[in-house]
Amino acid sequence: MVAKIIDGKEVAAKVREDCRQRVEALGAFGTRPGLAVIIVGDNPASKVYVANKAKACSEVGLNSKVHAFPAETEEAEVLRLIDTLNHDPSIHGILVQLPLPPNYNVRRILETISRDKDVDGFHLYNVGALAVGSSIFPPCTPYGVSKILEHEHIEVAGQNVVVVGASNIVGKPMALMLMQKDATVCICHAKTRDLAQFTILADILVVAAGRPNLILPQMVKTGAAVIDVGINRLPNGDLVGDVDFDGVSQKASHITPVPGGVGPMTVTMLIENTVQAAERFVGIKG
Ligand code: NAD
């Protein structure tokens, strides 16, 4: 079997087009969705992510504003800005780029964001809402994976799903979302013994560990859909996922490439969440 290679850029373009139309419709209410992005310090990867988010937002017609602080900024100053943004009617979404400087209390920062503007979905309210299946802003990366599965008409209900990786931003919310869609979900992590005995059972295998070549063909069931969230930079400069793409694509039914698979969906779902926040603000969505 040779897998269908899922084009994440194509799925992202469809979602962005839908967002563009919703942004236009919001114009009738005199509202343009606004996203504020806060970055503290000069982590090079974070700077690239923030620039990409701002660019993608403006392409869809959102208003985005980046607030960049030097690493030595007091946490209190960032908390004051979040409070101001919480009350700013032109801002519908607030995102704090992680990681923050080590002396910051990340939970306190995230809990200060209004839950109505928490477009990254990291506020405890939204985390809890996801656990009981009434999430307003699902975290962007697993939300993007859900959209990919939907777009590819990959049935989730009743399927065996194995999620490799149990982080708060990808693995755990991914597992919750797919459980909500009636999959039978198993979560594996770095302490899982004999990973292959779990992955081989998966009809849908989602991998988010940050380990190149973690998933080899013999660990994958023939015909499984394999979603590779991992992003790893090899010493030679190549960007790869966590899955042995060449080997596994001979066995799976579907596979996402890296780059060009899940990556383009993450920023797209941030746009979608911000549009949704603006729709809730004007009262056209509950
Ligand atoms: P993390 O380091 O917070 O968590 C990694 C998880 O993988 C942990 O639960 C850990 O126990 C597990 N793990 C590590 N080694 C393992 C092993 N050998 N076997 C099984 N499990 C193992 O990372 P994260 O933030 O969840 O990100 C995971 C990967 O996804 C990274 O490569 C990251 O760059 C990528 N990522 C991609 C996107 C995207 O938009 N495509 C977004 C977020 C993260």
Determine if ligand 1 sits within 6 Å of the CB of residue 257.
no
Determine if ligand 1 sits within 6 Å of the CB of residue 211.
yes
**pLDDT for 1:** 84
Name which of 110, 204, 214 is nearest 157 in CA terms: 204
Q: Cβ–Cβ contacts within 10 Å for residue 18, how many?
A: 15
Is the pLDDT assigned to residue 40 strictly greater than 90?
A: yes
Could you give the domains of the chain? 30-114 (3.40.50.10860), 139-263 (3.40.50.720)
What is the number of the ligand 1 atom nearest to the C-alpha of 211? 15
- For ligand 1, the distance from its centroid to the CA atom of residue 209, given in whole angstroms, is 3
Q: Taken in order 153, 7, 258, 218, is the CA torsion positive or negative?
A: positive
DSSP 204: E
Query: 6: exposed, middle or buried (C-beta count within 10 Å: 0-12, 13-18, 19+)?
Result: buried
Residue nearest to atom 8 of ligand 1 (CA): 165
- Verify cis geometry, omega within 30 degrees of 0, for the bond prior to 142: no
Determine if ligand 1 sits within 6 Å of the CB of residue 167.
yes
Determine if ligand 1 sits within 6 Å of the CB of residue 208.
yes
Provide mean pLDDT across the span 57-83: 97
**pLDDT for 285:** 78
Backbone angles phi, psi at 101, to 5 degrees: -55, 150
Determine if ligand 1 sits within 6 Å of the CB of residue 162.
no
Residues annotated catalytic, as ranges: 53, 97, 120
Encode pLDDT of 51-67 as tens digits. 999 999 999 999 999 99
Beta-bridge mates of residue 206: 163, 227
Encode pLDDT of 101-148 as tens digits. 999 999 999 999 999 999 999 999 999 999 999 989 999 999 999 999
Query: pTM score, two decimals?
Result: 0.97
**pLDDT for 286:** 66
Name which of 243, 187, 252 is nearest 215 in CA terms: 243
What is the number of the ligand 1 atom nearest to the C-alpha of 266? 40
Determine if ligand 1 sits within 6 Å of the CB of residue 189.
yes
What is the number of the ligand 1 atom nearest to the C-alpha of 192? 20
**pLDDT for 125:** 96
pLDDT above 90 covers a percentage of the chain that reads 98
Determine if ligand 1 sits within 6 Å of the CB of residue 215.
no
Identify the band that residue 163 occupies on the pLDDT scale cut at 50, 70 and 90. Answer: very high
- For ligand 1, the distance from its centroid to the CA atom of residue 20, given in whole angstroms, is 31
Backbone angles phi, psi at 83, to 5 degrees: -60, -45
Question: Which of 189, 206, 256, 266 has the most ligand 1 atoms within 8 A of CB, as the residue to mutate?
Answer: 189
Provide mean pLDDT across the span 198-214: 98
What is the number of the ligand 1 atom nearest to the C-alpha of 171? 26
